[in-house]
Amino acid sequence: MDHSTSASQRLALERKGPDFPFYSDKPPSVSWTAWLWVLAAAGAGFAALGVPLPFEDNILTGWLRAVAFVALPLAALAIAAPGHWRAIFRCVGIGDVLLMLGFAILNIIVTLAVGALVQAFGTVNSNAAIADAADLEGARLASFFAKVGFQLLGEELITILPFLAILAYLHNKAGLGRNAAVLAAWLLSAVTFGMLHLPTYDWNFVQCFVVIGCARLILTWAYVWTKNIWVSTGAHIINDWLLIGSTVFLAPLATAA
C-alpha cells in the first residue's frame, strides 16, 4: 500500500519535494523487526562513546568511538533497507548550505533564550568536554573540532533514525494520520535526545528536556524541511563549532580583559 502524501497535504513546516523515506512504499518500507535492529545499533553506537576501557583514552580511541557511533547505525540501516539506505542523504547545493546556516542561527537564538529563562529559575550545567577544549591547542585542538563534526553526524543518526522508526510505527501500525505521526515522532525523538544527554549535564532534567529538547526540535526541523540529514548535520556542526569556538577563543580574551 502506498502511503505517500502530496505536498499540499503535508505540514506547513515541510517544503515541497520528496516525502520521508521508509514509512511508505517509496522507497520500500522497513519491517518493524528491522527497525528494532536499527534502533539497537543506534543504541550500541551511542554506548560506544562512553564504554569504559582498560587503558586511558587518547586521540585514537576517541576517533574509534566516533567511528563506531556513526558506522553502527548506518550499517544496520544498510542491512534493514538494502540498496535504499542512502535515502536519508541527498545532494547538497548552495541553498542547502544557506539552510544549514539559517537553522544554526535560529537554534542558537532559541537555545540562548530558553537557556536564559531556565537559568533565571534554576541552574544550568556546563559541558565538561567543551570546557576542557579550552586547554587544547595545535593539532589536538584541530582533531577535537574535526572529531566533534564527525560525531555530530552520529548524533543526527541517533535522532533521525528513531524519528523515522516512530513515524513508520505510528502511521503504519497504530493507524495515526501521517501529519500527526510526524509531529509525534518529532517530539518523541527530541525527548529521547534530551534524555541521552542527562549524564553529560549532571542529570539536570530541566536543562536536558527543555533547553536541549527545544534545540533538538529546531535541528530536526532542518531534516523535516529538507528530508536531507546532511542539512541537519551541517546546522548542528555550525551550532556546536560556534559554541566551542566561543569557549576556546573568546572566553580567554574576556578573562584577560
Distance CA 195, CA 101 (A): 26
Which residues are CB-neighbours of 85 under 8 A, at least 6 positions away? Answer: 74, 77, 78
Answer yes or no: is 241 within a domain.
yes
C-alpha cell at 200: 553529560
Can you tell me the mean pLDDT for 80-104? Answer: 96
Given a cut of 90, whether residue 48 has pLDDT beyond it is yes
16 lies in a domain?
no
pTM: 0.92
- Tell me the pLDDT tens digit for each residue of 140-187: 999 999 999 999 999 999 999 999 999 999 999 999 999 999 999 999
Number of Cα atoms under 13 Å in the Cβ half of residue 155: 24
CB 76 within 8 A of CB 37: yes
DSSP-assigned letter for residue 85: G
* 89 occurs within a structural domain: no
146 inside domain: yes
Indicate whether 50 belongs to any domain.
Answer: no
Secondary structure (3-state) at 16: coil
pLDDT at residue 135 greater than cutoff 90: no
Q: Is residue 217 part of a domain?
A: yes
Q: Domains in the chain: how many in total?
A: 1
Those residues with Cβ within 8 angstroms of residue 146's Cβ, 6 or more apart along the chain or in another chain: none
Task: Quote the domain boundaries for residue 183.
Answer: 94-256
